Structure 1
Amino acid sequence: MAEIVNLRSVRKAKQRSDKANEASANRAKFGMSKADKMQTMADKVRAARQLDGAKLERD
């Protein structure tokens, strides 16, 4: 015998999963917050400066 399903709850569950998928796509699309971007950029600059300071000068 088939299981009885409340169509309203199924429709709401589908809407929730669609919104979750869209939110996930937007997170990937728009990425990090401004503060996170600035922190990452500062880390890259610091690492590059440290690397340049460790290079040996060859004549």
Structure 2
Amino acid sequence: MHADRQPCDTATGVMEPGRLFESPYTDRAPTGPDMVFAESDVEVIVEILRAVRRTAETTETS
């Protein structure tokens, strides 16, 4: 992982929402998910990613 990249561990389902605005996602949608989805849908996707991260962190520390 590059130092400037946000954490991403899709093997465990954890991904920072900011990654949606980086490659490989921007390879198909250069401006990010808002090029493909409505803003309200992007907000839902981001909240889901945050919820998964909270759940994964809670599980790891238990």
Instruction: Name the TM tier (shorter chain).
Output: 0.3 to 0.5
TM-score (norm 2): 0.42
Work out which of the two has the higher radius of gyration on C-alpha atoms and give 1 or 2: 1
Which structure features the higher share of strand residues?
Answer: 2
Q: Which has the higher contact order (CA 8 A, sep 6+)?
A: 2
